[in-house]
Amino acid sequence: MAAFLHRIPLPALATAAEDATRSKDDDRPSSDNDCSNSCDELIQNDRLAALATELDETSDNSFCYHAIAIGDTVVGNLSSHSEGDDAVKRNDGDEADARSSEWQTSFDAPVLTVTSNTSGTIIASATATHVSLLKGHDGSIIATRQITRSGDDLTATSPGLVFVSSPSSSNNNQQQSTMKDVLVVVCPVQGGEWDKNNVIVISNIDGEALNSSDPQRFREGATNMSIDALCFDKNNSARDFIAATLIEGVFINDDAIRFFVAHKSGIISVYDYNVTIKQCTFVTDDLFNQIGMGTWKYEEQLGMSIDTNNSRGGPFLVLAASNKSAEATSIGWINVLDLSIAANYPISGPAGEKLLSLKPLRSNHPDECVVVAFSTKGTSSRKKRAESPKLFVLQSLLEKVGSGCSQILFTVQTDPNVRAVEICSPPAMYASEAYSFRFASKFDGATPNVYKEFIPSEQGKVGTVHYLLSAKNDFDDAQQIITEELATCSSDDDVISTPIHKSLVWLWRCRHILSTWNNDNGASSCDEFQQSLRQLTFGAATGDDQFTENMIAAAEFMLHWPEKSNNSGNIEPSSVSLHDIKSTLSILCSEMKKVIDVLRSSPKHSYLEELNRKINSRSRAIQGLEYVTTLDGSQVHLNDAYLAVDSIDGLLSILVSQAAFRSAERLQKSEYGTSLTPDSISSAALRIPLRSDSTKFLPWLCDSVIPSLHIGHPKLDYIRAWACKSADFYDEEGIFNGIESSIFLLKAVSNATTKLSVAMNSMSALPAQVVVAVDKNMHHRPSVLKVGIIRGRKIKQGRTFSAQRGGTAYASTSTQPPSCLDDLENIEHDCVEQKLNEANRLKRARELGMSKDCLTLSSYESKGDHYVVKELVKSALIRTSLDPSTSAMVVDGVKQFSKDVHVDFDHAVHQFSIELGNSRKDNIPHYLHDAKRLAQWCDSPSVMCLIVLSMLQKALVSIQRPPDLSQIAHSAIEAATDDCTKSELKEAARLLSIDYLVRKYCGNGAQEYFRVVRSNITIPVSCFAYSQIPSKLTSFRVISV
């Protein structure tokens, strides 16, 4: 029997007056029973009812397996299909079941939310302002509670109701638990108060007692219920938004419920709530961070669900999450206990398609598989009307990833006028078939919702087929089920379809053969692969869409084989030989050609041709790889990078990235290299590893790659920029010979560029007829008149340029810089010559004594030559202090370097002396000692005078007694070239002589009492000398100032 849709019949709704009369006749406890808050009256408020109506217009009626909310009425005890009823066996579901719903209860305002516990004994419903508990067997109201204060400050959200069933009912076992059901109420947020708790917990709900006809037992069940506020600790969670938008929970033991709390910000926090002591414990602030998916957020419109159907490793939290940084959505199963990802299915539907609803279902194999039903709908545009929603039943293997671990089992097409679909999954204890579910089709306008139930019937064995293929590799049993049991279930119906087809077995055989390939038995595996592929070819050649789809899937799988990430085989590359890959690709090419020749009028023909082109390209790449690994010389070690090659261009890039330069050169010169273009060759050169020895790759780079380009080619600019970055890396890391390797690399690239320019000049100078002959057989290049030649040194914006482009750049197939150059804002066309000049200078500076810690090649440009000369002066000062005999040689070397780099040596010495003085304020005598030598090194009298003047001034304020500076002061005064400087030197020398007398007769302490710069210095000097050292006054002379 094939799967079908059963339409759930609904009765004519009773009026409010009729329902009120019926409610009075109910066999319920009188008002004098001690039920306290459990028996509050419904509040009649026209303003609140109007608000509820407004909310109802913006939302859709809620329903669960045991009840449906329609307007202001709750309809309960919904009938399920009867397999003996012929009327419900039709797929369209138009024939209604003769049975009617057993009860209906009306309220004074529209019912926005309805739910039930697992057993269906208690129904919970909510209007905009109140929550009510109803008996499951007759719909009579047990209790009503107001959840909002007023209607003025409510946001346009419906209350949330979630039942957390007791452990015994949730786990579907016979062991009785003392803990009863719990109802969680998420109240609408008032006035945007997202920083306050909005959750109420009604615990200890005994459905059997509350449905009892015994008044005493009912009274006990009502009084045992308790209502508490569920508080989330803001200090522990550090959450900006405490108020919950959605909650799901499940018992993790007899006393504790694990709650998953969704917040407005799109994250989910986790808490454990002890029902006995009424205490909430923080578990994690962000569930997605906990499971390693910090960039994801949950889809609020789809909600969350708890899947308790799995018998191993469950329960699971089922939700849909989207990536914040990319438009991608996934359905995920998260283990409730250890908060790990148990399964994941990325949604890869058409562009613009969005999820509408998501619910967990039961599987035929709950120990290995999880199942969900979800619905999607395309978005509309000006040119295209949105397609009606579709429903899918998806089965995934637990704790497995790869091709085929998730499979769509059924697709249900809804009515063209349906605008949305809401899915409801059966409770854990509900007697329903695996993969069955109910859904509400919602129409535009006044058309009422249509409620249907999907019944898989015998066709539910498609889930078993997927399980056998993906988990057990049992192809024979799967083939038997498809050909013998499911063959009678197939129909031409356009409403329900399944991709489970006999061709799927052959697809899985192909995958299994490739995923478990053994090199020792390659010939046998190759024969089995060919047989399975031919079965797909025969079916596809007949025009069967399923055969064609699965053959395409087999070809796509083969394109990426072998890889460790493919399927459950996880084969190692060493178990597959290049000969095996080449043989299987050859078989695939042959079979693909047969299908393409037959399906020329098929819509898939163009895609098949493109796929065949990729297969041929990969086949040729594998042949080229086999060629370069069998020749004498360097051998390449095969790994995943090589085995994943898909073209000759890609093979060359991989060889270069693996530093197999000799193999790359052999490939380029072989018959397989004839398809390589200058663009592809130069692109491969940009993948040379930075840690490669330049002596290994420069012969290939300079003799093969650069000559294939021309001056002005963008890839030439990138190669030259890459050479500069590699030179920086050599020097910074100190690998190979450091700066020597940098110079060697830069010089080789510069020379190769020069040769290329000269060759282009020679070509343009040939007679016209010769040039024409060459152009017919060579790649077109602009003439030298367009691109220019090496023009010598030229200064531009403070930098030295030696090669400028004189025309429009060559239109390369790819002008984007490679990833290794992403950090370069601009690529200078003469960067190699500039970098080479800097490298030579840096090498020379280090030979003169500058340490590597002071400057590297990468920072030379930003520091500048002036900085280098100052560092050399500093180094010379240190070296000459250790060995004064080398002073002349060291200083002469620095002076010659300064002259060569066009830096004023004396100016650099003066700048360094200033920096030296600022850094040695606490040790002025040491500074004076070094500054004296700096002044002696200067060739310029004016600079020498400035340094000496600074020395004299600092000596005056020195705490320590300065050395005798009279001789150098006299020399500076004699060498001064202008009167102003000479006057300042004389004054400083005179004051220093006074300072000398003060320190001699009064000691350094006199500096704290007076300064020699004061005009009336005679009096304090005399007073201080008289009080401190009167015995020496006979030798003291007052100096007139």
Task: Provide, rounded to the nearest whole percent, the portion of the chain with pLDDT above 90.
Answer: 36
pLDDT at 169: 56
Q: Which pLDDT does position 85 carry in this prediction?
A: 41
Q: With 60 as the cut, is the pLDDT of residue 132 above it?
A: yes
pLDDT band at 264 (very low <50, low <70, confident <90, very high): confident
Mean pLDDT (whole number) for 478-492: 80
What are the beta bridge partners of residue 297?
322
* Contact yes or no for 411/496 (Cβ under 8 A): yes
CA angle, 307 as apex, 411 and 400 as ends, to 5°?
A: 70
pLDDT tier at 162, thresholds 50, 70, 90:
very high
| Confidence at 707, pLDDT banded by 50, 70, 90 | very high
Three-state DSSP state, 975: helix
Residue 770's pLDDT is what?
Answer: 41
- The answer for residues whose C-beta is within 8 angstroms of residue 339's C-beta and 6 or more apart is 270, 283, 284, 287, 290, 291
Q: How far out from the chain centre does Cα 916 lie?
A: 50
- Nearest by Cα to 844 from 897, 904, 898: 897
Give the integer Cα–Cα distance in Å for 957 and 964. 15
Res. 797 pLDDT band, cuts 50 70 90: very low
At 574, list the tokens. 């060493």
Average pLDDT over residues 500-526: 85
Q: Give the pLDDT of residue 189.
A: 77
For the residues of 893-956, what is the DSSP string, one character each?
Answer: HHHHHHHHTT--HHHHHHHHHHHHHHHTTT-HHHHHHHHHHHHHH-S-HHHHHHHHHHHHHHHH
- 8 Å CB contact between 107 and 129: no
Q: What is the pLDDT of residue 788?
A: 36
Dist CA 180 CA 221 (whole Å) = 10
Dihedral sign for Cα atoms in the order 506, 512, 518, 519 = positive
Provide the residue count of the chain: 1041
CA distance 389 to 441: 9
pLDDT of residue 796: 37
pLDDT score for 637 = 66
Is residue 992 within 8 A of residue 952, CB to CB? The reply is yes
**Model confidence pLDDT, tens digit, residues 628-669:** 877 655 556 667 778 788 999 999 999 999 888 988 988 998
| Residue 568 pLDDT | 45
Are the C-beta atoms of 67 and 114 separated by less than 8 Å?
Answer: yes
pLDDT for position 60: 55
| pLDDT tens profile 732-754 | 999 888 999 999 999 999 999 99
In whole angstroms, give the CA distance from residue 759 to residue 706: 12
Cα(953)–Cα(947) distance, rounded to whole angstroms? 10
pLDDT at 830: 72
- What would the two tokens of residue 204 be? 């200890």
Question: Which residue has better confidence, 810 or 847?
Answer: 847
User: pTM above 0.75?
Assistant: no
CB distance 952 to 972 below 8 Å: no
Task: Decide: helix, strand or coil at residue 193.
Answer: coil
Average pLDDT over residues 587-607: 91
pLDDT, the chain, mean: 78
d(CA 993, CA 1014): 14
Give me the pLDDT at residue 994, please: 82
- Rounded to the nearest 5 percent, the helix, strand and coil shares of the chain are 45, 20, 40
Cβ neighbours around 32 below 10 Å, total: 7
pLDDT at 996: 79
Answer yes or no: is pLDDT of 6 > 80: yes
Which H or E run includes 723?
helix 714-733
**What pLDDT score was predicted for residue 176?**
53
Starting at the earlier edge strand, list the strands of the sheet with 130-135. 113-116, 122-126, 130-135, 141-146
- 170/826 Cα distance (integer angstroms): 64
176 within 8 A of 149, measured Cβ to Cβ: no
- pLDDT at residue 300, as a whole number: 78
Higher pLDDT, 392 or 1027: 392
